[in-house]
Amino acid sequence: MQTTVFTLASAKALTQSRRLIDTQVQLKEFLPALRKSSWVSLDTEADSLHSYPEKLCLLQISLPDTDVLIDPLSQIDMTALFKALASRELLIHGSDNDLRLMYAAQQFVPSKIFDTMWAARLLGFTAFGLNDLLSKLLGITLDKGSQKANWTRRPLTDKMANYALNDSRHLRALTDQLRDQLKSKGRTTWHEQICNKLIRDHAAPKETDTSQAWRLKGSSKLSRREQAILRAAWHWREIEAIDANKPPYFVVRHEDLVCMAGTVIDKNQKTAWPAKLSSRRFKSLREAVGQALDLPAEEWPETPRTVRRRISQSEKLFYEALKALRDKHGSGVDIGVDFHGAVQPPTALQLVKALEPYQPWFYEEIVQALNIDVMAEIAAKTHIPIATGERIFTKWGFKEILEKRAAVILQPDICYAGGITELRIIAGQAEAYFSPIAPHNPQGPCSLAASLQIAACVPNFLAQERGDNEYAELLAEPLPPVENGHRPIPPGPGLGITIDEDKLMDMVGEPSPYGPQFDPDDGSVVDW
């Protein structure tokens, strides 16, 4: 693949084609072109490295025939702009920060986004930064020299403008490639659900809990009295940062606050204080710490109690086995992980987070099937899709799961559900919630043939468990073999199969009881 490098050397050409919109007239002239396009490539720049609180400093917008920079600092009225953006698909890389900035600036909530970073993660890319993806998929290498620039600076340099435009101008081509790969792997719906969740999360952004925000890394090791000092120092730093319009770590670093809280005993002591404070700041910090030292014990913060469980040796071996499997096959193989509903909720969540780096295809039955609220809670804490397993098989059982978004992939078994008609109803129910189905089937070739009829007629079919190894000799003619990961639909009438009835009768015998199974180590009852 030929590589194109976008550097300052090409800045002149880019400058000639770009438009910096910083007046109301320019914005009005641009809006018709935006309204003609069904999609918009978009990125933002903020001043988080230089100001506090941060603010939106630049909007980069790319359309089919034009790239523009829009300057929010020019005090232009952007109401019409965001109204137009709301009805278009926004192509964004790592949208979380962009959505947060635009909501803070204009209470803007988009109707539809395509996040290229999340698409890459769902596809198993191990490096999903914008430059990584452009290089791998499009052969483009960007100049990132202005990554830490001060975006409040005006006028923008050509280097800054070039950097900013490159973050949006290639998103259309990148989106096209990633969208095709998602479709080919049956993961379009998963990506849509992630993007919709990002929109919902930023439609109702969480307010910072100042009563807990002071709990910095390392604070849990402090005593309650020391935590009271840290809390006071943190609030002092917030005031100083806002007054100075500088990020808090410019005033005092996190680790220095924690260190001070753990070593200061008296406000008049000479050591333990952060270095390089002005005399005014030093005085006001000592006063804040002194007030904390004077607090009675009952006003000290309570230390949150956490329960941590050590990873067992068997779990460690499982992680290592999955890692080895992913290392061997790379991103070209989908790996599903079945918990069999045998894991307790606290352990399930630990396993879910621990396995994420290896990009499983889905997690099946992370907890017992009837524990829907816990399943929904775990599903909200991971980007890996959750599958139901075979223990849920009625439309009434799936109703609550779909409504609470406890699972993405439904796995009804055609034999348990009640046949083709009932499975078709469940598939339609899942389609209404943009969920795919992957029918369960360890029952043999007859149930497989029936399931394949559903696969051929529903739009949200994802995958089919094979289940044709047992009792395959009952068929007069074998099912068409799997080719390149795909099973042809049986071409014959009905289910497309013919039963060898003589062999079937030979296998019929006396019924045998289905007794319980026991764990070989402790004798407890198990499913299997």
The CATH number of whichever domain residue 255 belongs to comes to 1.10.150
pLDDT recorded at residue 140: 93
pLDDT at 320: 81
Check whether residue 171 and residue 231 sit in a common domain.
Answer: no
Expressed as residue numbers, the domain containing 85 is: 4-203
Residue 280 within any structural domain of the chain:
yes
CATH classification of the domain holding 86:
3.30.420.10
* Together in a domain, 245 and 145: no
Residues 373, 263 share a domain: no
Residue 143 in any domain: the answer is yes
Place of tokens 């559900």: 417
Select from 299, 331, 348 the last residue of a domain. Answer: 299
Produce one character per residue of 263-294: b if its CB has 16 or more CB atoms within 10 Å, e if not: ebeebeeeeebbeebeeebeeebbebbeebee
Q: How far apart are CA 44 and CA 54, in angstroms?
A: 12
Instruction: Check residue 17 and give its pLDDT.
Output: 40
| 329 given a catalytic annotation | no
Minimal CA–CA distance to 257: which of 247, 272, 278, 268? Answer: 272
Distances (CA, A) of 296 to 264, 269, 278, 301, 339: 17, 21, 30, 11, 49
Is 262 in the same domain as 330? no
Q: How many degrees, rounded to 5, is the angle at CA 421 between CA 386 and CA 396? A: 50
Q: What is the distance, to the nearest Å, from the Cα of residue 234 to the centroid of all Cα atoms in its chain?
A: 30
| 170 and 43 part of one domain | yes
Helix residue ranges, H only, 47-136: 79-86, 95-106, 116-122, 130-133
Q: Residue with structure tokens 């071996």?
A: 317
The domain boundary, picked from 146, 172, 203, lies at 203
Q: Are residues 175 and 48 in the same domain?
A: yes
Q: Please, what's the b/e burial string for 158-181 (b: 16 or more CB within 10 A of its CB; e: otherwise)?
A: eebbbbbbbbbbbbbebbebbbeb
Please indicate, yes or no, if residue 519 is contained in any of the structural domains.
no
The pTM score is 0.57
The pLDDT value recorded for residue 119 is 93
Are 146 and 41 within one domain? yes
Whether residues 412 and 362 share a domain: the answer is yes
In a domain, 378, yes or no: yes
Q: Is 340 a catalytic residue?
A: yes
**The pLDDT value given to residue 12:** 40
Q: Are residues 227 and 374 in the same domain?
A: no
pLDDT tens, position by position, for the chain (528 residues)? Answer: 444 333 333 334 334 345 799 999 999 999 999 999 999 999 999 988 888 888 999 999 999 989 999 999 998 999 999 999 999 999 999 998 999 999 999 999 999 999 999 999 888 887 888 999 999 999 998 877 777 788 988 999 999 999 999 999 999 999 999 999 999 988 898 899 889 888 988 776 666 666 788 888 888 889 999 999 999 999 999 999 999 988 898 899 999 999 999 998 888 887 778 888 999 999 999 999 999 999 999 999 987 765 555 666 666 777 788 888 888 888 778 889 998 888 888 888 888 888 888 889 999 999 988 889 899 999 988 999 999 988 999 999 999 999 999 999 999 999 999 999 999 999 999 999 999 999 998 888 889 999 999 999 999 999 998 877 777 788 888 888 888 888 889 888 899 989 888 888 877 776 666 666 777 667 777 666
Does some domain include residue 509?
A: no
In a domain, 349, yes or no: yes
Tokens of 113: 């986004």
Q: What is the CATH number of the domain that holds 351?
A: 3.20.20.120
How much is the pLDDT for 286?
92
168 with 236, same domain: the answer is: no
**How many domains are contained in the chain?**
3
Q: Are residues 261 and 126 in the same domain?
A: no
CA 512 to chain centre: 48
Residues 126 and 184 in one domain: yes
- In this structure, are residues 374 and 352 in contact, taking their beta carbons and an 8 Å threshold? no
Q: Is 374 inside a domain boundary? A: yes
> What is the residue whose two structure tokens read 């047992």?
470
Q: Which residues pair with 5 in a beta bridge?
A: 141
Tell me whether residue 506 is in a domain. no
Helix/strand/coil percent split, the chain, to 5: 45, 10, 40
170, 191, 202, 440: the catalytic one is 440
* Closest alpha carbon to 110 in 205, 208, 195: 195
The active-site residue out of 93, 340, 383, 486 is 340
Residue with the two structure tokens 């499009």? 138
Quickly list H helices, 170-306: 171-184, 188-203, 224-244, 248-251, 254-263, 279-293
